[in-house]
Amino acid sequence: MPKMKTKSGAKKRFKLTATGKVKVAQAGKRHGMIKRTTKFIRDARGTTVLADCDAKIVKQFMPYG
Protein backbone atom coordinates (compact mmCIF):
# COMPACT_ATOMS: atom_id res chain seq x y z
CA MET A 1 0.00 0.00 0.00
CA PRO A 2 1.49 3.39 -0.95
CA LYS A 3 1.96 6.11 1.61
CA MET A 4 -0.68 8.82 1.90
CA LYS A 5 0.42 12.35 1.04
CA THR A 6 0.19 15.27 3.42
CA LYS A 7 -1.31 18.46 1.97
CA SER A 8 1.67 20.79 1.72
CA GLY A 9 -0.44 23.85 2.49
CA ALA A 10 -1.65 22.25 5.72
CA LYS A 11 1.80 21.27 6.95
CA LYS A 12 2.93 24.90 6.59
CA ARG A 13 -0.03 26.32 8.50
CA PHE A 14 -0.81 23.83 11.27
CA LYS A 15 1.01 21.89 13.99
CA LEU A 16 -0.37 19.10 16.15
CA THR A 17 0.08 19.22 19.91
CA ALA A 18 1.06 16.19 21.97
CA THR A 19 -2.59 15.61 22.90
CA GLY A 20 -3.68 15.73 19.25
CA LYS A 21 -5.15 19.23 19.13
CA VAL A 22 -4.44 21.46 16.13
CA LYS A 23 -2.41 24.60 16.81
CA VAL A 24 -2.72 27.54 14.38
CA ALA A 25 -1.59 31.17 14.15
CA GLN A 26 -4.15 33.83 15.01
CA ALA A 27 -6.10 35.12 12.03
CA GLY A 28 -6.65 38.69 10.86
CA LYS A 29 -3.19 40.18 11.38
CA ARG A 30 -1.76 40.42 7.86
CA HIS A 31 -2.85 43.92 6.88
CA GLY A 32 -5.29 46.68 7.87
CA MET A 33 -3.90 46.87 11.39
CA ILE A 34 -4.62 50.61 11.62
CA LYS A 35 -8.35 49.98 11.84
CA ARG A 36 -8.00 47.17 14.39
CA THR A 37 -8.42 47.98 18.05
CA THR A 38 -5.50 47.69 20.44
CA LYS A 39 -7.43 45.02 22.33
CA PHE A 40 -7.83 42.94 19.15
CA ILE A 41 -4.12 43.15 18.36
CA ARG A 42 -3.17 42.23 21.92
CA ASP A 43 -5.59 39.28 22.06
CA ALA A 44 -4.44 37.99 18.66
CA ARG A 45 -0.80 37.46 19.65
CA GLY A 46 0.78 34.04 19.35
CA THR A 47 -1.21 30.95 18.47
CA THR A 48 -4.56 29.39 19.25
CA VAL A 49 -6.11 25.92 19.19
CA LEU A 50 -8.70 25.11 16.51
CA ALA A 51 -12.21 24.07 17.44
CA ASP A 52 -12.88 20.33 17.26
CA CYS A 53 -15.09 20.55 14.16
CA ASP A 54 -12.36 22.43 12.23
CA ALA A 55 -9.57 20.27 13.63
CA LYS A 56 -11.28 17.16 12.27
CA ILE A 57 -11.00 18.56 8.72
CA VAL A 58 -7.35 19.56 9.14
CA LYS A 59 -6.39 16.13 10.47
CA GLN A 60 -7.62 14.55 7.24
CA PHE A 61 -5.05 16.66 5.39
CA MET A 62 -2.26 15.49 7.73
CA PRO A 63 -2.58 11.71 7.97
CA TYR A 64 0.70 11.17 9.83
CA GLY A 65 0.36 14.13 12.20
| pLDDT tens, residue by residue, 18-51 | 999 999 999 999 999 999 999 999 999 999 999 9
Full residue range of the structural domain in which residue 15 is found: 8-61
pLDDT of the residue at 65 = 84
pTM comes to 0.83
Residues 6+ away with beta carbon under 8 Å from 25: 13, 47, 48
CATH number at residue 52: 4.10.410.60
Task: Determine whether 56 is exposed, middle or buried from the number of CB atoms within 10 Å of its CB (0-12, 13-18, 19+).
Answer: exposed
Is residue 34 assigned to a domain? yes
Is residue 18 assigned to a domain? yes
Is residue 57 assigned to a domain? yes
Is residue 1 assigned to a domain? no
Is residue 3 assigned to a domain? no
How many separate domains does the chain show?
Answer: 1
